[in-house]
Chain A
Amino acid sequence: MKITFPHLGYCSIPLRTLFAELGHTVIVPPPISQKTISLGTLHGPEFACYPLKLGLGNFIEALEAGADTLIMGGGIGPCRFGYYAQVQQDILRSLGYEFEMIVIEPPLGHFRQVVAAAGRLKQKNSWMQLAQAASFALAKLRACDDLHQLSLKIRPRVENKAVLANLYNRALTAIDAADSHRTLKTVANRFQENIKALPQTRVEPLKVALVGEVYLLAEPAANLAIEEKLGNLGVEVIRHVYISSWLKVNILLDFLRLRRKESAEQAARPYLNCFVGGHGQHSVGETIQAVRDGLDGVVHVYPFTCTPEIVARGIMRTYAAEKNMPLICFSLDEHSAEAGFNTRLEAFVDVMQRKNGQGELTDEQALHGI
């Protein structure tokens, strides 16, 4: 099988590892470019959300590169993501592509389907070998998440942002290339140390919680590199939703029926006490936690037309206004204009700074930050 999957930030690294360990040929789609966006929006329904269109673009580019098996996530509940695999499959077939699509459903309530999909993917490998490959892939995912978290913390403080960006990219490449737990650990540690050793300013940055829908949080091509922009403006981004944590909540905790114990969902409960799909409840909960933790602001990103996040937004706006917490919401899709986005982001940083009584942005940040 020539396997491919849609991009989601750096998730191609663990996914490539997982399938390559099982002996498949893996065709990673080209990074999301203007061409990917054009392909996805040309063939995707206009009012479907951005993740469907970008994923569709990824699939088309991968099919063109020779892939014959598409892996896609499934789902149930109020978020439309659950039926995107089916919609994408129909669109791709209507375009004349021949392929097989394997949909990974959430294990709760679809246990048999999950086992069947895993059985197909493991081929002649034993279940033990599948578990080993999965554990190695998870280790890579965690290494990427840790590295990313470090970069968010360091970026506002580092003097030379271009050097950090370069190190970060090289680290991802090295993690991707690691062929054993041992080399993975070595390269991950080495890059962590190198990044920590970069010259830093002593100024304590503003801290902002980045909340919202998981795809828009994790995919820089979709969120117009919001984390990097905030970091370059001198703001530390605090994000709790990571792919590894998402897997934990949506796959493991859900399956073990422990989901309701999750802290962000608990925090949200006085204001939003039911599951509204996607990360709606998380966004509310994390806004409440951001106020509690004394952060300087909350940035909310979600795909245009995303129902769970729109439900959350109404609650977040009222709550943030009550608590005098700066909040800005970005609903993004292929029509998002970067100039206006940058202006709003800069102005938002000014709002936080002025509220905080701190000075303005340095001209260096203002000139080259964005």
Chain B
Amino acid sequence: MSKLYMGFDVGSVSTNVALVDQTGEVVYTLYKRTQGAPIRTIKAALKEVATEFGEAKIAGVGSTGSGRSLAAVMLGADLVKNEITAHAVAAGHICPGVNTVLEIGGQDSKLIILQHGVVTDFAMNSVCAAGTGSFLDQQAARLGIPIEEFGDLAEQSQNPVRIAGRCSVFAESDMIHKQQMGNDIADIVAGLCAALVRNYLNNLGKGKILKAPVVFQGGVAANKGIKKAFEDALGVEVMVPQHHGVMGAVGSALLARAHVADKPSRFLGFGISELEYASRSFECADCPNNCEVVELTCDQEVVARWGDKCGKWSSETSARTG
């Protein structure tokens, strides 16, 4: 079997895995809910990969997402990358020549501008969380609509209602108000999609020229209502790649492939899903910074520490990753 490269994207809402082969072709993807327990989810995800690729040779491992450092220590990753770069790399690989990447994940939204395959500018939502997957999830649940049907419902609308979309709290109260006024639910859902897109473009797109080809990725890209709202707002066709939900993991795998080249991987093996990982945090009282230090242990042995400003705790345990 040929060499495979594994990418882990440990996000707030989902933990995704992608495997690419030597040509960069995506051969396997996995999408799992993180459910606030990244350690457990990483182990479970790895176990699932192992059932399908037990014998395969993992030649490189990359990690990304907000849990990238944790995943890197647990897996023995060869490369740790921020999710902005990982998403840009994946988009550029799957859609060569892409100029604009719209990415909406669980907690974060990103806008990435590329020129000739090189990232020239990016933005990430800062002030509020409106326009993210979690908010859509929550609204779908509140309205009793399965999230998969949310987009279809939006498409049925003839006159979308205008929803205040500056921040998710206000958007929700405005939605409730429109519901109480008797507006049609499809119109409200379509209005919400338009509001989220407006909020996204106003917050992230400020002053940036969004040129076609435009790629829309992240979990929310599955939502046809949001895709249509983007197309209406931008006036161009928006492409949704096949693996839109796991593009961070794909990018991370591609980055690992480029990084490892012919060097041996530091991957610790599928066996780690059987190990006992635990984490705890404590406040270091050695100086007035009072840093909150997080400690990760594997079978009672400390494998990593984070969070100290001075490096006193974190420098002790770099052996496993360094």
Contact = CB atoms under 8 A, between A and B. Distances in A.
Nearest to B124: A344
B65 to A, nearest CB: 9
A366 B124 contact: no
Contacts of A33: 288-290
Contact of A366 (B79, B122, B311): B79
Nearest to B318: A368
Interface in B117-168: 118-122, 124, 126
B290 A354 contact: no
B84 interface: yes
B80 interface: yes
Contacts of B69: 367
B310 A364 contact: no
A350 interface: yes
A34 B118 contact: no
A165 interface: yes
A354 B289 contact: no
Contacts of B321: 367-368
A346 to B, nearest CB: 4
Question: Most chain-B CB neighbours within 10 Å: which of A161, A355, A367?
Answer: A367
Interface in A342-365: 342-344, 346-348, 350-351, 354-355, 360, 363-364
B310 A165 contact: yes
A339 B119 contact: no
Interface residues of A, number: 33
A35 B290 CA distance: 9
Given A162-B315, A165-B311, A350 B290 contact: no
A321 interface: yes
Given A225-B309, A340-B108, A368-B322, A351 B207 contact: no
A350 B82 contact: yes
A272 B84 CA distance: 33
A30 B309 contact: no
Interface in B212-264: 255, 259
Interface of A: 30-31, 33-35, 161-162, 165, 225, 317-318, 321, 324, 326, 331, 339-340, 342-344, 346-348, 350-351, 354-355, 360, 363-364, 366-368
Closest 8 CB pairs of A and B: A347-B84, A346-B82, A350-B85, A366-B80, A31-B288, A162-B311, A343-B82, A347-B82
